[in-house]
Chains A and B, each alone.
Chain A
Amino acid sequence: MQLLKVEENGTAKLFFLSSAFWFVLGTLEGIIDATDMVIPDLFGGIPWLVFSRVRPMHTTTMIFGFVGSALLGASIYIIPAVSRTPLWNERVGKVSLWIWNISIAVGLITLDLGYSQGREYAEWIWPADIGILLAFGLIFLNCIQTAVRRNEKVMYVSSWYILAGLVYTWIIYFFGNAVWNPSKGAIYGLPDGILAWFYGHGVVGLFLTPLAVAISYYIVPRVARSPLYSHTLSLVGFWSILVIYTHIGTHHILQTPVPTWLKVLAISGSIAMIIPVMTVLVNLWLTMRGRLGLFHQDIGGKFVMAGLVWYILTCIQGPVQALPIVQRMTHLNNWVIAHSHMGVFGFSGTIALGGLYYILPRITGRPIYSTRLADVQYWLLLLGMAGFFGVLTAGGLVQGNSWLNGETVYRTLPMIHVYFSLRAAFGVLFVGAAFIGLYNVIRSIAGEPRQREIQTEKATGQTQ
């Protein structure tokens, strides 16, 4: 069967292609939502373009479709690579790929038709949840079987993060979506809020983060042509993220009447997140010390480097905004939206793209179609993300200040109109970048590289 064809690294390749496709869809959903906030009557009440139906489509397309697919693709390549053995079973890989993509499609289409379970990032209906769990299970099976059959004595740190990330994501997804309750996908009362945010933060912290860190650990030493700085730091970073990141979801609902002991746990855990983040970053940055030029030359390395910068910014901001005194100003407004875009897109999304551009040529055996286009995409995304973060943070501060000083929500809408407009403008850069990316990935997989670029690269001595 063509769809399940067995070829070396075919699963990883198609995961990358899926990611590029979902990226386009996700940014289109984003720009629809951004436009809805600026000109609410533009789409004239078309049900499937309504803001609040498209918004969960946008978040889940980005988390699972775009970033998730690329991270999984990279993982399925990295595990065999660091184990020095082929993937255990490419056919199982292909099956997991199609279950994954079909589940995402089912989740998105039903959301658009008005079927939602209503909890952030857990909106998809039960059948989609089961499909996602099945896909995660199959991918884990594939990875663990490969790791057990490894021809390399030492298990490299990337594979720790991938394997643990897959196990944790499965558990968090299972509990967070309350899959034992198919019709509601939830439990009763405030505990549901606690559970939903245990999941909502966990899906970022234990799916996207470990896999993105795994890619960084794989790519940084290779691009830097230098061994990893410290094994001990890797161990500290790995185990501390598992202990700490799992505890902090309640910081999303600190201002609700949830039990105080849980808030204390969430706030102290959020501050402690500095430990796993800094150990990873120190480890990676000391690995690349004095070799930044090499990252400038490698398009994949460049994306990973940018992602790591977004990572440290996100993870300095995160602990600070988990403090109750800060939340009085920042919670419930666009400050948080700026933060979440920096985390999911800036950090894990950019690293996912880095993984894609670094690994795809190694799968196809030829350079990517155009490094120039990838470079354009890089700058569009960097500019878009920075601008996006700036305007949303500014708009959020306007909202937060106004509310604290007694303005009503309705009064703040004209105040943030300009920020919403600018957000939509920066969103156009994302859409453009996503289309460029899809084109580049399709041409890289399907065809030969552009002759002129190869010649230039040969002339300047740069090869992929």
Chain B
Amino acid sequence: MKMTPLVLILGGLIVIAPVLLMNVITPWVTGLDEPPSDIFRTRTPIEEQGRDIYVNNGCTYCHTQYIRDFDWDIGSQRISKAGDYIAEIPHLLGTERTGPDLSQEGGEHPDDWHMAHFVNPRFVRPDSVMPSWEFLGKERLLALIAYKQSLGFKQADGRVERQKYWKAEAIGAFEAGPDKNVEWLHGHVPEPWTKLPDPYMTSVPGLERGHRVYQSFCIGCHGPIGDGMGPAQPFLYPPPLNFTILQNRGISGGILYYQIMNGITGTAMPYFKKDLESEKIWDVGNYIAVTFIGESDAGQPTRGIAVSYEPVEGPK
């Protein structure tokens, strides 16, 4: 084959024409017919403004916006569909997950949690490597938060409404004083949990593990001495709980476990059941009970058959 400039250029164009047709034109044209998915809605102007900030500042390099059928982290209750994306310009699918996927982020947290998180992510998530976005200024951060709360469209709207409803309730309880507040908090824990003691024994290694979990998950809001005065506190209302007020107010290992597991929707307290497995939750709960509340029910003799690794007491 003799190669001349003409053969090269013409041949090249002949090759790329069908490629463009298959890889660009066809998906483009057929993509326009995609029906909107069940959750789709259009975005409000402030949400669009927030999306522009997201695009311009490169949030997409660490956060994807699609859920795969084998994902476990936040948003994994719904696998993404093609119809979710019809209004995306540019696309924000992303290629890396240094941070979590955000396609169902809306309503995961209340607005005040987001504000603390944007000012410095380590205020609420101590192990985070996300940059601080305080320099964007309050107005742009509010737009960005509006956009994040819209992620997940109609499903997000439902979650955001739920956050708002329970925030009002939680504020009411907080403003009614410690007695009422603790009563309200405990009152929403289902009964089997309120009576359930911590099934593990209190042990020095267990408290050490609980301490470590506390530092990675709790310290930003509840503070190093458990008084609710962590660096995120100025941003949050109702403020983070001061653990000492739980003393002599009917706390149990089960209540601590339940609240850590499920969080308190409406407040900045997130659920940790995706981050932490059972023993870690018991450990951090007992760390809080022993260190800050001074009241632990760990290892009471109401348990069933002892776990095989626990120290042997008596003939059993």
Contacts and interface: CB of A to CB of B under 8 A. Distances in A.
Interface of A: 36-38, 40-41, 44-47, 50-53, 55-56, 114-120, 123, 144, 147-148, 154-155, 157, 160, 163-164, 167-168, 171, 175, 184-196, 198, 235, 239, 242-243, 246-247, 249-250, 252-253, 255-259, 262, 265, 328, 332-334, 336-337, 399, 403-404, 406-411, 413-414, 420
A337 B34 CA distance: 32
Contacts, number: 227
A116 B70 contact: no
Contacts of B8: 155, 160, 163-164
Nearest to A144: B5
Contacts of A155: 3-5, 8
Contacts of B128: 40, 410, 413
Interface in B76-93: 80-82, 84-93
Contacts of B22: 247, 265
Interface residues of B, number: 75
Interface of B: 1, 3-5, 8-9, 11-13, 15-16, 19-20, 22-24, 27-28, 30-32, 34, 55-62, 64, 66, 68, 70-74, 80-82, 84-101, 120-122, 125, 127-135, 216, 274-275
A332 B129 contact: no
- Which 3 pairs show the lowest CB-CB distances between chains A and B? A52-B58, A186-B90, A191-B31
Given A188-B31, A190-B34, A246-B16, A147 B23 contact: no
B97 A332 contact: yes
Contacts of B61: 51-52, 55-56, 120
Most chain A CB within 10 A, of B60, B74, B120, is at: B60
Most chain B beta-carbon contacts within 10 A, residue among A38, A148, A408: A408
15 contacts: A45-B132, A45-B133, A52-B62, A53-B57, A118-B60, A164-B8, A167-B9, A192-B91, A196-B90, A253-B93, A257-B80, A257-B81, A259-B30, A265-B22, A333-B96
A97 to B, nearest CB: 23
A336 B98 CA distance: 12
A45 B134 contact: yes
A116 B66 CA distance: 21
B93 A256 contact: yes
Given A36-B131, A256-B80, A120 B70 contact: no
A242 B12 contact: yes
Contacts of A118: 55-56, 58, 60, 90, 92
B95 A409 contact: no
Given A246-B19, A328-B70, A191 B27 contact: yes
B15 A242 contact: yes
A337 B98 CA distance: 12
A191 B28 contact: yes
B72 A114 contact: no
Contact of B130 (A40, A250, A406): A40
Nearest to B62: A52
B131 A168 contact: no
Contact of B57 (A50, A186, A337, A411): A50
Nearest to B80: A257
Given A117-B55, A193-B93, 14 more contacts: A37-B98, A40-B128, A41-B132, A52-B61, A53-B57, A154-B3, A155-B4, A164-B12, A175-B20, A191-B32, A239-B11, A265-B23, A337-B96, A413-B127
| Chain A binding surface SS class | helix
A103 to B, nearest CB: 19
Contacts of A252: 95
B58 A410 contact: no
Contacts of B72: 403, 406-408
Given A36-B129, A408-B275, A409-B73, A246 B23 contact: yes
Q: Which of B96, B97, B131 has its CB near the most chain A CB atoms (within 10 A)?
A: B131
Contacts of B132: 40-41, 44-45
A53 B54 CA distance: 11
Contacts of B101: 409
A52 B131 contact: yes
Contacts of A175: 20, 24
Contacts of A332: 64, 94-97
Contacts of B34: 189-190
Contacts of A235: 1, 3
A425 B73 CA distance: 31
Nearest to B70: A328
For A123, A168, A187, A189, which residue has the most chain B Cβ atoms within 10 angstroms? A189
Contacts of B131: 36, 40, 45, 50-52
A414 B58 contact: no
B7 to A, nearest CB: 9
A190 B5 contact: no
A171 B25 CA distance: 13
Given A193-B91, A257-B81, A259-B27, A168 B58 contact: no
A168 B15 CA distance: 10
Contact of A187 (B1, B28, B94, B96): B28
A453 to B, nearest CB: 41
Contact of A243 (B1, B15, B97, B129): B15
A114 B57 contact: yes
A68 to B, nearest CB: 20
Contact of B91 (A38, A55, A196, A414): A196
A416 to B, nearest CB: 9
A36 B88 CA distance: 29
Contact of B127 (A41, A114, A257, A410): A410
A190 B91 contact: yes
Contacts of B86: 188-189
A232 B45 CA distance: 59
B100 to A, nearest CB: 4
B144 to A, nearest CB: 13
B15 A239 contact: yes
A334 B129 CA distance: 15
B96 A242 contact: no
B148 to A, nearest CB: 15
B89 A186 contact: yes
Contacts of A408: 72-74, 100, 274-275
A196 B90 CA distance: 9
Contact of B31 (A189, A334, A413): A189
Nearest to A51: B131
Contacts of A336: 95-96
A191 B3 CA distance: 36
B36 to A, nearest CB: 10
Contacts of A41: 120, 122, 132
Nearest to B28: A191
Nearest to A252: B95
A116 B122 CA distance: 26
Contacts of B30: 259
Nearest to A184: B89
Given A147-B5, A195-B24, A53 B58 contact: yes
